Homo-oligomer: A and B are copies of this chain.
């Protein structure tokens, strides 16, 4: 732990919803999976119900049809992760919450219960991290009002429309504002997670984890080739 006397957090939770982007959450989680072999950590996986939550969305989902008119009608490709708790029965000692993005972040029926949960739970958290369009969900809760934050660059125009009181940063791999960390799209969440581990457990731990995963970190939070690629700057 760097420059602070707080004990490192032990209880981490993630939120899942139908149509979450797999790597948004599994990239950061796998860093913590390896850390949990040498450091005591606990994970809670939260969702609306205890049913497995799939990355894929029903093809008849109206907003999906609008967004992805070219989706082949016969793709059947998804993975489902099993929650450990519902929002209604979430443990009361969660210290760190991680929220992924994905096309499902555009569906009110997914987002509304998450927003309600965040509004109630945020004051208890030590850290809140979002990946990709997870920051659009967080923006709807009001927690980002007046804060700097970033998001997926391909979806940036839509994200900004979700809450104009947020100081959206168009070019950043990730952004830290207080105890809220937001990353750019998908793979950027992995770089944010290593930076966060470095902040909490120190640089040696972060480097050991990245080398164990044979991951080449992008260490510059302001470096963001994809801002130009997707026209956000």
Contact = CB atoms under 8 A, between A and B. Distances in A.
A157 to B, nearest CB: 15
A56 B82 CA distance: 13
Contact of A79 (B72, B75, B81, B229): B81
A186 interface: yes
Interface residues of A, number: 55
A37 B230 CA distance: 19
A79 B43 contact: yes
Given A41-B77, A43-B76, A71-B37, A213 B229 contact: no
Interface stretch (A21-29, A119-127, A137-145, A161-169): A21-29
A216 to B, nearest CB: 6
Most buried by B among A21, A43, A76, A214: A214
A56 to B, nearest CB: 8
Interface string A158-186: 00000000000000000000000000111
A229 B80 CA distance: 35
Contact of A37 (B33, B70, B229): B70
Given A36-B75, A38-B71, A214 B152 contact: yes
Contacts of A71: 37-38
Interface of A: 12, 21-23, 26-27, 29-30, 32-33, 36-43, 45, 52, 55-56, 68, 70-72, 74-82, 152-154, 184-188, 190, 211-216, 218, 225-226, 229-230
